[in-house]
Structure 1
Amino acid sequence: MATSIHETVLIGICDGVIDKKKNTSYCTNKIGARPDLLPVITLQHPSCALCQRGLSHVVQVYCPLAASPYHRTINVFACTNPQCYGKSESWTVLRSQCLDDCIKSSQNNKTTACTESAMSRTDWCDEADDWGMDEEEQVAESGVQMPNEGNEISSRLQELCIDGDHQSALQPINVPVFQPFYMSVMEESDLDGFHDTDHENELLREYEEREGVTVREIQSCESGEAQEEYEKATAKHGDEVFTSFMKKISLCPEQVLRYSWAGSPLFIAEPPSSVSQTVPCCAHCSSPRVFELQLMPALVSLLSSADTNSDISLEFGTVLVYTCRNSCWKSGSTFPVEEFLVVQPDPDQKLFK
């Protein structure tokens, strides 16, 4: 699905391995490792609905909404059992929130500069006005209103984070742990000046050879050029959705995450005829859920075991995460809220290996 012309999309990119000697926190955007819990949050480790194995932590995204007083983190988990690959039931997404006063109280009002890579903690939402909801905006016929798309996104990095005892979620010993990486963030609109690495160029070359079409031809045919060019540029597999997906990410094939709160997802395969009916309302406040982020195919190659003696992997095309539009949170709650996700298998998984 194409994004709106006014829609702002942020791109998450792998930004290096996290040193075992360095602590991360709830405000670290990262791949793998164990989730870092917000103060007062208690996590009952999730298990697979299909095989009952413990789920491995895939990504952590710190994404507070501008008009909200809450710190806000999203953690995505998945089952590494090959028999569960590509099935939404083997994944879980949890949203955790905590008031700043609770954090300050738990850390004795001590703050310090974060020591991890600054870009790994770029704000997805904090101070980004078109991802929050003012009190006036929450009053509408449905009880809520979409944020103003006209406001600008702040690219300023958060300089401080809360220091204190490093709190990481307890995880059963037998649950595989993925190697940890930082995620850096950039706006998709800034990708015009972004240069692909040799690896990404090789991925595109392999795709073009296999499908008998270049990305430039796809772009030309989709821009309305002659019909004969369109016929020549049709991918061998005939999957227009997948072709459109590849065209959209061609400027940055190594993107591991796309973020656009209340935006439009980028489907890798034909979506259900009615996505709005497929995505259930929030189980806690009955508010509609909105698209917030998705995991991208390039993430697959990064998901290897943190234990060199273990061999684990995960396969998917894209994972679409939908969250409560109100981002509802019960005062005093100490448990994460489970949100909704959809897993789409990759129609051509070999491209991202």
Structure 2
Amino acid sequence: MFAEGHVNPCIGIAKQLLADGHRVLFTANGVWQTKLAAYGIETVELAKPNTTDEGVIDMDSSAQFMISLGKIGGASPIEKARHESFTAEFWTKHAQYLDTQLQILLAAIRPDVIVVDQLVTLPAVELSGIPCVWCWSVGPLVMVDDERTPPGESGLSATGDPRLWHEFRQLVRDVKIEKWRAFNNWVVGRGCEPLPEHCFYNPSRYLHIYGYPLELDYQDIRPLGRNYVRFDNFKRTERHMTFAVPPELAAKPGKLVYLSFGTLCPVDVQNMRRLVAILAKSPHRFILSMGPKHKEYTLADNMWGAESVPQIRVLPLVDLVITHGGLNTVTESLYFGRPMIAMSGFGEQYDNAQRLHDKGFGLRLDAYKCSEEELLAAIETLLSDKALAERLAEVSRKIQIDN
């Protein structure tokens, strides 16, 4: 995976393994080596991909590639789903690029256990005979496609019309079917058993772990098998990082709000400028994680931001979070008991945003179409909701004890 939202959960897992006395090796692109080294994690560098069909190696190019696929932007989830064949082609070609290298690396490293964070199967892993744990850094609706729940990446409500679920699910299956057939043929040709129809991996072959608070999970709708293990989150500690509210912002009046749209969504600079202009009219203060194009837009007087901020250190200091609905920010905000406004950009972010809204832990707004009045009113609504604050404090206490 290419973005921090996928790498960070793996870091959380690795830190616990290191604390328990195990050795952890990441196979990763070189761009991650410095970040991983800060956590004491060793890396084995993958060869650079030859083309963007095989992979992208940094966050900026990842974001631009997502824009080229139509994944990031103001289109609706179902409009974006019509382009899923291109996404499927990318992930399957990337798997073939990884597979070639892993055949060599696994024989040299000889690990006792493999942990993968992938969307499609890797025959080199399956054929190695080494026990494998599949880590899911995306939401549970993407992890398990079950007709008792809405389809992943749809943003449809679990209490909504099942006919809409079927329409979305069937559309995705139809646009991906040729890519699935080609990938299945390749997997079988590599010596693996055939994949379940419409599925790009074989769920029964792995132990699956995922981070999603019980308060948001779908287990009451569709229980999972014994080879699925839920954690409240895969939060990092970030003990090597510090953060204090800058004095110029600390001196201003108003509540403190954290805005983060992850590492990919903020590359849509035009929309970031639009949102900054709206938030400039709020009486509150804002800390922004601005993303890789942070030099291309200017913040207002009631704001402070940087390309990236140590989120785990920021969240305890703020009163409200405005998020793209990324899994890390959602689970970490609940860990600290913070209400959320979720404004999704793509993928499972839509599902997380709707789930927060349905469960009453925040509000879902359209990142591209919300009006000034809607966004400013949502901020005031959540900041003044004392009952929600008490409920979130209780959820936070439970998660911090359980995890």
Pair in the same fold by TM > 0.5:
no
Q: Which has the higher strand share?
A: 1
Higher RCO (Cα < 8 Å, 6 or more apart): 1
Relative to the length of structure 1, the TM-score reads 0.27
